[in-house]
Amino acid sequence: MFFMAHFFLLIRLITNFLLVIKYSHISNKFFKNKSFNSFLRKNPIAWKNIHLSNNYIACDCTNYNPMNLIINLVNAKFLQKIYKCKLLIIDNYPNKYRKSLYESFLSDKIIYLYDLKSIFETSNFKEYLKISRADNIEDFLKINFDYFSIGKVSYDMYLRKSFAGTAKKITNQMQFEILNSIYICKRINKLLKDYNIKAYTTHEIQFNPEAYLIQYFLKKNINVFCKSIGQTSISIRKYNKLYDSFTPRQNITKNLFLKIKKIFPEKAQIGKQLIEDRFSITYNEFEEVPDTKFAFKKTHKSYSKKELCNKYNWDEKKPLILVLSNNIYDGVFEKRRSIFIDNYTWLKDTLKLLSSNNKINVLVKKHPTENYVQGVKDKTVEILKNFTNNKNIKLYPDNLSLNSIKNYLDVVFTDHGSAGVEYSNFGIPVVTSSDSRYSCANFVNECKNLEQYKKTIKDVHNLKKLSMEAINNARIFVFINQILTKVYFPLNPKINTYSKNFDYSFWDKLDKIINNFKFEESEFYIMIEKMIKKNSYNLINYKLIDNNEKFF
């Protein structure tokens, strides 16, 4: 059994290497375009005036999506200018098209994480055998390799690939992810040790290798600049401490929140308007949250509470609780603390606790991804099968308008999702079980441990509407998170990112933009330069607060 288990791991390591090559080859299709070639010829002209030292800016190019590559590369060029450094590219495997893109950005060095010879090094298996064995998932999550959190990232990779949502026991696939993590962490240490790196730019803090790259740089006290939400306008979050490596990319500092609340309290009205527009499905230029198009639809119908209760034969006098499922394969560990091991377990255990309270009615809504990602289709329905005998817990009707139900909802449950800010804007109390992007703003019932969570659910029918101060806190947070910390990004044309096929108009648009592009005059460059000079954690669009930079 011992030999067979390790033979499986070796085969999986080789298979994974072949998959890296396969995906690199598949990514070629993204670049076979006349406008791409035209862009390559023009692009170097935009960056020729950057003066360099012998230090480096490291740029994450391990993602295969051209849009993510361009964002990271442009940010790296901005950082190059500010820090006066060379450009170091980090990719998975050599690819001629991607290399030509890097060269058009005047890259100085490219390193590749995957190498066939290094896969067979016996030290990979020796280090793997040194790792203490875990008997359960909780212990598995605590596995470290040196300072790398390989247990948590490996479980995240398992959830990402399997769409299982959770696991009752440690599988061979999880063990492979541990071995592959050790391999990548060793490669990162080996390949980067000889470079004097001043900053690192990426768009991702999850999964292998991105999670390990950010952990490496933070351990070395190197600032990480991570792109957050947005396409035509984006946010940047700075990380500089290792314990911060699982902090949500959309997180804002408490200091920034308190300053805006004190100096610009009127901005709460802008946050209020954005959320109201979201619920009423009204166009708002600042709305770029991807899943809202699936959660909020004009085809949805309005129900009164009486109509809804008649539908399920419920007592209309009982409080109505809405439980909103979280994504079970993405963002599972983009948080520093959680009561539950994963989002699937959160939903299952939350419903189990709510089922013991007979003073409430509960609607459970699928996460938007369950409507368009085949691997997670109806996972919420799967969990609800455990509660068929409880007539007070029902699946949220697909055609029920969120804009109507918000008028008579009493409490909302989410682990750490956007619902926390959405429903708080209307005074509806929200219960969470993790820290989140909005933890700094003090408007949700954030439970710190299981006992507190159980007690909250036991008395959930007694929860009061939010105070006006808490409501305004939520609205100010929305303004900061969705508007103030986002700046127009000059080299990222808007395309359809939902289509299975790449939108080649991306290169057409980019080719036109680069013609007269002067990066030092771009608003984004000016704002990120201020961010670095002021040692801020969040990119701030000072134009939206009348250029009152003196307060920040």
Q: Note the pLDDT tens digit of each residue in 132-150.
A: 789 999 999 999 999 999 9
397 and 528 fall within a common domain: no
228 and 339 fall within a common domain: no
Domain residue limits at 507:
15-116+188-252+489-551
246 and 282 fall within a common domain: no
58-110 pLDDT per residue, tens = 999 999 999 999 999 999 999 999 999 999 999 999 999 999 999 999 999 99
Picking from 2-16, 194-208, 348-362, 370-384, which range would have the lowest pLDDT averaged per residue?
2-16
457 and 520 fall within a common domain: no
198 and 281 fall within a common domain: no
439 and 542 fall within a common domain: no
Asked which of 459, 484, 509 is the last residue of a domain, the reply is 484
Let me know if residue 321 belongs to a domain: yes
Q: Among residues of the chain, what percentage have pLDDT more than 70?
A: 95
473 contact partners, CB below 8 Å, separation of at least 6: 261, 424, 441, 442, 443
Query: What would the mean pLDDT of 307-325 be, rounded to a whole number?
Result: 95
Let me know if residue 366 belongs to a domain: yes
226 and 294 fall within a common domain: no
346 and 433 fall within a common domain: yes
398 and 535 fall within a common domain: no
475 and 508 fall within a common domain: no
Query: Number of structural domains, the chain?
Result: 2
Asked which of 449, 484, 519 is the last residue of a domain, the reply is 484
464 and 351 fall within a common domain: yes
Question: Residue 375 sits in a domain of what CATH number?
Answer: 3.40.50.2000
Q: In whole angstroms, how far apart are CA 516 and each of 67, 82, 193, 489?
A: 20, 21, 38, 15
79 and 218 fall within a common domain: yes
Asked which of 466, 484, 502 is the last residue of a domain, the reply is 484
Global pTM value: 0.94
Residue 450 has pLDDT above 80, yes or no: yes
Task: Convert 54-78 to b/e letters by CB count within 10 Å (16 or more is b).
Answer: ebbbbbbbbbbebbbbbbbbbbbbb
Let me know if residue 140 belongs to a domain: no
Let me know if residue 176 belongs to a domain: no
Comparing 286 with 525, the larger pLDDT belongs to 525
- DSSP H helices, 443-535, are 450-458, 468-479, 505-513, 523-533
User: Nearest 10 degrees: CA dihedral of 283, 287, 289, 291?
Assistant: 0
Q: Among residues of the chain, what percentage have pLDDT more than 90?
A: 78
The per-residue pLDDT for 2 is 45
Let me know if residue 540 belongs to a domain: yes
163: left (phi over 0), alpha (psi -120 to 50) or beta: left
Let me know if residue 429 belongs to a domain: yes
Neighbours of 499 (CB within 10 A): 8
